[in-house]
Amino acid sequence: MNSMLIKNITIIDPSYSEPLENIAILIKKGKIIAIDKAVCIDIDDGCEIIDGEGNFILPGFIDMHVHLMANGFLFEDNMNDPLAIYFYKALQNMKDTIDAGVTYVRDCGLADIGLKLAQEKAMFPSPKMKISVMPLSISGGHFDFQLNSGFDMVMNYPGLPHPVCNGVEGVIAKTREILRAKADFIKVMATGGVISANDSPEFSQFNKKELKAIVREAEMRGNTKVSAHAHGLEGIKNAVKAGIHFIEHGTYLNNKIAKLMVEKGTYLVPTLLVISETKKNALNGKLKKDLSKKAMEVSKFHKENMEIAYNEGVKILMGTDSGVIEHGQNLNELKLLCEIGMEPMEAIAAGTIEAAKSLEIDNELGSIAIGKTADMIMTDKNPLDDISYLGNPDNILMVIQDGNIVKNRFNL
């Protein structure tokens, strides 16, 4: 397809002061080349014309925290399933993600360079991605899945380095190994977690010297950014002071650390959805007893402390931790962002233009603007009136990625 005109639509985009009504968008070779009233846009012979029938167009969303290769982190599956099954499951995960309206993701562990290259070759429906390949973990830390029996349950194969490293020299070596594996950013486990076998969320992991060494080594390699899984206050503090750029979860942060994050420009990806869904799973008896206890404890403090972060002015981005929870419900995070204080347009910005800025891809993505890549979604209800409407993938009528329609439930 050479060109496509979508007319009679309303654009909902945080980059504009208000919705643009009865507008048309001309797409050519994957790029947006005109935004205007339809009668004002010249089109080529053969241009495909789509009447949007008054529906709403938004930028494609960016989920800042997913695990495309994971399905609940049921490591028992790794012991039983052939390796090929692991990858075939991921195909459905990626399709579910893009069908939900997410056209770009930041994968926070287990996606390797082969997956990214396959997506770039359009071998299957998938969001575009930045990958961390494998998180860094201390021995006995959040991504050390060696059991007392001696069996190591972590997925490990050529191109996917083992996560465990210790000491300054050890973390430098592992950072280099992860970058050799073509990671776009480094993910480090700065505290324990809910799903890990050997620790608890509030426990700090990696000391200050180790964290600073990771940041320094990453910066030396093309100014690569570092992201930290961090629930506990001390671990968050260590990560922020070390110069880490993104805090994931942030459960036990307080006013003081929130002010420090504002001062340093540290982003927060609160992953409200995974905390909410994990609590539900605990209450429904779907988690083991020890994991349920940790899930319930984290849920007591998380939302209130995310409100603190928002009120202090911390830069907050949309991320879900899909993979720990079911894929394809990503945009339910928007409603939860509004529950901590955001207005609907602000929540949309957290999952579009602000996320793009944090990834330094806002010259290409994150908004509907002339010259940018045509990544967009269509819905038949104004999300500013009901942000929760976007959370149901069935309400995403169309998904356009790189100017191509990759999902179409509109006018079928």
**Side chain identity at residue 335, one-letter code:** K
Phi, then psi, of 150 in degrees rounded to 5:
100, -10
Q: What is the 3-state secondary structure (H, E, C) of the chain?
A: CCEEEEEEEEECCCCCCCCEEEEEEEEECCEEEEEECHHHCCCCCCCEEEECCCCEEEECEEEEEECCCCCCCCCHHHHHCCHHHHHHHHHHHHHHHHHCCEEEEEECCCCCHHHHHHHHCCCCCCCEEEECCCCEECCCCCCCCECCCCCECCCCECCECCCECCHHHHHHHHHHHHHHCCCCCEEEECECCCCCCCCCCCCECCCHHHHHHHHHHHHHCCCCCEEEEECCHHHHHHHHHCCCCEEEECCCCCHHHHHHHHHHCCEEECCHHHHHHHHHHHHCCCCCHHHHHHHHHHHHHHHHHHHHHHHHCCEECCCCCECCECCCCCCHHHHHHHHCCCCHHHHHHHCCHHHHHHCCCCCCCCCCCCCCECCEEEECCCCCCCHHHHHCHHHCCEEEECCEEEEECCCC
**Contact assessment for residue 387 and residue 56, using Cβ atoms and an 8 Å cutoff:** no
Please state whether 96 falls in left (phi above 0), alpha (psi between -120 and 50) or beta.
Answer: alpha
**Side chain identity at residue 94, one-letter code:** M
Q: What is the pLDDT at residue 281? A: 77
Residues 6+ apart with CB under 8 A from 238: 190, 204, 206, 207, 208, 211
Give the bridge partners for 248, in sequence order.
Answer: 229, 269
**235-259 exposure pattern, b = at least 16 Cβ within 10 A, e = fewer:** bbbbbbebbbbbbbbbbbbeeebbe
Q: What is the pLDDT at residue 412? A: 56
Q: What is the pLDDT at residue 214? A: 98
* ∠ Cα 174 258 205 (to 5°): 30
**Side chain identity at residue 207, one-letter code:** N
CA distance readout (Å), 102 to 105, 320, 329, 330: 7, 11, 10, 7
CA distance readout (Å), 164 to 137, 161, 178, 351, 370: 5, 9, 12, 31, 45
Cα(349)–Cα(368) distance, rounded to whole angstroms?
12
Over the Cα atoms of the chain, what is R_g? 21
User: If the chain, 412 residues long, is cut into consecutive pieces of 10 residues, what is the mean pLDDT of each piece?
Assistant: 90 95 96 91 90 96 97 74 90 98 98 96 96 96 83 82 97 98 98 78 92 97 95 96 97 97 98 90 76 81 95 98 96 98 98 98 97 98 97 97 94 64
Residues 6+ apart with CB under 8 A from 84: none
Cα(382)–Cα(258) distance, rounded to whole angstroms?
33
**Side chain identity at residue 81, one-letter code:** D
Say what the pTM is: 0.95
